Amino acid sequence: MFKIGDRVAHPLHGAGTISEIERKKINNQFKDYYVMRIPKGDMRVMIPVDACDAVGLRPIIDSVRAEEILNQIPDLDVSQDANWNKRYRENMLRIRSGNLLEVASVIKSLVQRESVRGLSTGERKMLHSAKQILISEIVLCFDCSYSEAEERLYHSFS
């Protein structure tokens, strides 16, 4: 169970802070929800307390693990299927896994593909989402700005 002030990561929305625990009545039943604030864009996400495990909500990684992930990015082997649909499905599975190294591999493969062939609209949106997920966690791990975290990420590609 998380408490107010905990820094957590949602597999599809990125990292944020539990700002409150709200009780809502839905279908004549009361249910508790974590209200998570994501720094970029001041987004608010509500997660049912009893569904945290199913959703994949977890504490953010520490700065040592974040540094390890950033250092592993240059060595990530990224393969790209020629079939757009298959590539898209595989990348979505990687993002939904909640594994930041998998998210980093999606970012790396899409950045490489963009430099060679360009990206479809769907893949551009996927790249933006994957970057948001990884960068938001880096921001909270290192207590830095979004632009500093983005710079660290892109520095790891070179």
57 has pLDDT over 90: yes
Q: Give the chain's mean pLDDT.
A: 90
pLDDT in tens, 59-104: 999 999 999 999 999 888 877 777 788 888 999 999 999 899 999 9
The SS3 assignment for 153 reads: helix
Q: What is the H or E stretch that residue 23 is in? A: strand 14-26
Write down the pTM of the prediction.
Answer: 0.87
Q: Which residues 6+ apart lie within 8 Å of 133 measured at CB?
A: 9, 11, 12, 13, 14, 15, 95, 100, 103
Question: Distance (Å, rounded) from C-alpha 121 to C-alpha 72?
Answer: 28
